[in-house]
Amino acid sequence: MSKTVKKALQLLDIFTEEKPYWKLDEISNFTGVPKPTVFRLLRTFVELGYLKKMSFQHEGLVIDGEVYGLGIKFLEMGERVAARFEIRHIAFPYMQKLQAQFNEAVQLITREQFEGVYIEKVESTRPVRLYTRVGRHAPLYAGACSRVILAFLNDEFIEEVLEEPIIKYASQTPATKEEVLRLVKQIREDGFAYSDSELEDGTASIAVPIFNRFGDVEYSISIAGFSTSLPKGKIHDFIGDLWIAAAEISRKIGYNNPYPYG
């Protein structure tokens, strides 16, 4: 970790429940970081919304902008983290049910910028298992799990994603922007995504969208395994139960409309 980043994180760590507000001099004295460096870091954090300059009273006078406290950015981040834990808790029983029914891995995915992130997984009991794990990142254009989220984002964002180079991870990774856009259109019509050998050769997955209370697709749920057990011709053996699980999870996180597929 760079020294600058380390200093910045140490600076943020001093804002606690016991002492939520600090003056510049106090921060410098407490952390041992020179005042000019502290000032530069504080200014950057204020510009980005991680800290805010606040007013306080001293001997009856209101003194503006002399103390710093945590900004709204941390509240937004806290809400995102809380939502992630909530969705895992809500989705897990449905994931267990799907795993017990099909004995394939079941995965829960969300989005961070241009990537899908695996946030929960229930393993198959088969002797050979998929190499996926909670915390793994994947590009939005490759793999059913991530691409089903991409398909329901607005067209401008999809174009932005596809401005980046498309990396070939396995033999069937989509090769061009046009191919991804064709798949996106198909997903919107069908209500599911299918992938085979896109992130790793010999692995396949079927994924469906999960809608949040605003009607946005913030998550997806997928059944994943090896291509031999999840061939494209057998999608409809799995898709109905996936839609049912996604509809129930969507409802429990506040989606009030009828689930649009299945």
DSSP H or E segment with residue 122: strand 115-122
Tokens of 86: 């909530």
Q: Contact 138/115 with Cβ under 8 angstroms?
A: yes
- DSSP H/E element including 93: helix 72-102
pLDDT higher at 126 or 262: 262
What is the model's pLDDT at position 78? Answer: 67
Q: Are 180 and 166 within 8 A, CB to CB? A: yes
Phi/psi region, residue 115 (left: phi>0; alpha: psi -120 to 50; beta: rest), is beta
pLDDT value of position 1: 47
Banded model confidence at residue 56, pLDDT cuts 50, 70, 90: low
In the numeric block, the tokens 């504080």 are attached to 42
Question: In the structure, what pLDDT confidence band is assigned to residue 8 with cuts at 50, 70 and 90?
Answer: confident
Please give the pLDDT value at position 130: 63
pLDDT, greater one: 175 or 81:
175
- Going along the chain from its start, the domains and CATH numbers come out as 3-70 (1.10.10.10), 81-252 (3.30.450.40)
Query: What is the phi/psi pair of residue 30, to 5°?
Result: -75, -40
